[in-house]
Structure 1
Amino acid sequence: MSSEELPQDKKTLFSSLVQKKHAETDAQKIQNRILQLKMEHEKVMKRIQQDEERADEIYRHRVEIQLKKENKLKQKQAQPPPFSLAISHHQRQILKKIKDDDLIKKKSDAKLFREQLKKDFQSVQMQKSLDQEVYRIKAIQVKEEERQSTEVAVLKMKQKREKVRYQIENEKDQIIKEKKFYDFKISELEQQEQLAMMELQNSLANQQFVQKKIEQAQKLSPSDYEKQYQNNNKNAETTQ
């Protein structure tokens, strides 16, 4: 559908939107151009500042050169006339004094160097003695630690043996107690065995008696059987 076919209100709305979009685009373009102009302005100002600094630097450099030339010219004008013989003699004395002072200084430095070497040697010897003493003390400490370690090991071994011995003694006492208990129990059982054997013998004898009684009951008459076994019963009661 083309814009001519749209209703009038929609045409107006669409046209307004298009115009608004164009206005926004134009405004953005203008803002971009302003920003670009400001950036160019900042670049120009920066170059101006750099040029001014360069000009000041060149100026100061040329002033320094000019001052050096002027000072050199003044020094040249202020130089004294050629030395006379008296001044040369004085200079020789000064040079001799400088040499003597330098020789004294060298001797003093050599003396200080020898003294420093002596001190260093003494320090080395002292350090060596200290190292030897430290080594000796460490050796003593090692021996003492070994001795203590040996004593501890011996003590532990002794304690272990004592513990084993104590355990063995306890086990031995326990075994002795158990043996006594079983000895007593065996004695009781032997007595019970003897009683049981006696009872068995009595039972066997009684069994034989009863078997004989059965035989007699089969052989004897009732009156004879009664007489015999009644008398036996009376005798048995009398014995009891």
Structure 2
Amino acid sequence: MSSGEQTQDKKTLFSSLVQKKQAETEAQKIQNRILQLKIEHEKVLKRIQQDEERADEIYKHRVEIQLKKEHKLKQKQAQPPPFSLAISHHQRQILKKIKEDELQKKKSEAKIFREQLKKDFQSVQMQKSLEQEVYRIKAIQVKEDERQSTEVAVQKMKQKREKVRYQIENEKDKINKEKELYDFKISELEQQEQLAMMELQNSLAHQQQVQKKIEQAQKLSPSDYEKQYQNNKNSETTQ
């Protein structure tokens, strides 16, 4: 592997690590937001439960007070008036009628009060149920938004990775093609080098022959020189 390929692989690895870290960071942020939503949800549910218990306590306490009032009223009605022997039958009838009217009035008031309290309690319960439903819908919407945001982020990250991978592959193909061209060129240059080496060797051999010829020309007589090199020339011509 060439140094260029090593550098490119390191760049590819670094880019992948950066993308992975970004995805992990984004996922962690989403998980933290979801956890915060769950915590807030639990707090709201706890407050709702406390409010419901408080409403029940208030209702029971007011019912107890009303029952005590009614019990005291019954006790008073059971006690004979101290002056009953001293009043006339007509007066007793009038007093009885007044007490009955008062009792009926108090019973009606107590009934109206209980009904109103019941309506108020039902209204509170209905309002709380409505608030819970609104919160539930909002929580679902938040989760859906988070899910869609995550899908979009993941899709964008996937497209980005594919784009980077495509660019890296193209760069690798380009480098490989350039390397092939260089390999072909090197092969041609090596052939040219071998040919030049052979030509040089032939030239050096020919140079030695010429130098020997010079030495022979200096040593031999012209007739012997002519015979030797004329015969060599004829032999070379014949060949």
Task: Give, as a single letter, the amino acid of the residue that structure 2 aligns with 1:135.
Answer: Y
1:15: which partner in 2? none
Distance across 1 between alignment mates of 2:235 and 2:169: 63
Deviations 1:63-85 (A, max 9, x none): xxxxxxxxxxxxxxxxxxxxxxx
1:154 aligns with 2:157: no
Deviations 1:198-226 (A, max 9, x none): 10110010010010011011011222222
Deviations 1:10-42 (A, max 9, x none): xxxxxxxxxxxxxxxxxxxxxxxxxxxxxxxxx
Distance across 2 between alignment mates of 1:222 and 1:191: 44
- Cα distance change, pair 123–237 in 1 and its aligned pair in 2 (3 A): farther
Q: Cα RMSD between the aligned structures?
A: 3.0
Task: Give, as a single letter, the amino acid of the residue that structure 2 aligns with 1:129.
Answer: S
2:230: which partner in 1? 230
- Cα deviation, residue 171, structure 1: 1.9
1:184: which partner in 2? 184
Deviations 1:162-216 (A, max 9, x none): 2222122112211221221111111111110110111011001001001001101
Distance across 1 between alignment mates of 2:237 and 2:121: 130
**Percent of aligned pairs with the same residue?**
86
- Cα deviation, residue 109, structure 1: 7.2
1:69: which partner in 2? none
Distance across 1 between alignment mates of 2:233 and 2:112: 146
Task: Give, as a single letter, the amino acid of the residue that structure 1 aligns with 2:137.
Answer: I
2:209: which partner in 1? 209
Gaps of 5+ in 2: 1-96
Distance across 2 between alignment mates of 1:238 and 1:124: 130
- Cα distance change, pair 117–223 in 1 and its aligned pair in 2 (3 A): same
- Cα distance change, pair 231–119 in 1 and its aligned pair in 2 (3 A): same
- Cα deviation, residue 103, structure 1: 10
Task: Give, as a single letter, the amino acid of the residue that structure 1 aligns with 2:192.
Answer: Q
- Cα distance change, pair 130–171 in 1 and its aligned pair in 2 (3 A): same
Distance across 2 between alignment mates of 1:144 and 1:225: 110
Distance across 1 between alignment mates of 2:236 and 2:130: 116
TM-score (norm 2): 0.50
- Cα deviation, residue 114, structure 1: 5.0
Within a 5 Å distance, the mapping from 1:6-155 to structure 2 comes to 115-155=115-155
Deviations 1:47-73 (A, max 9, x none): xxxxxxxxxxxxxxxxxxxxxxxxxxx
Task: Give, as a single letter, the amino acid of the residue that structure 1 aligns with 2:174.
Answer: Q
- Number of equivalenced pairs: 142
Gaps of 5+ in 1: 1-95
Structure 1 or 2, whichever has the larger Rg, is 1
Distance across 1 between alignment mates of 2:234 and 2:159: 79
Distance across 2 between alignment mates of 1:158 and 1:238: 80
- Cα distance change, pair 238–142 in 1 and its aligned pair in 2 (3 A): farther
- Cα distance change, pair 168–238 in 1 and its aligned pair in 2 (3 A): farther
TM-score (norm 1): 0.50
- Cα distance change, pair 112–222 in 1 and its aligned pair in 2 (3 A): same
Distance across 2 between alignment mates of 1:174 and 1:158: 24
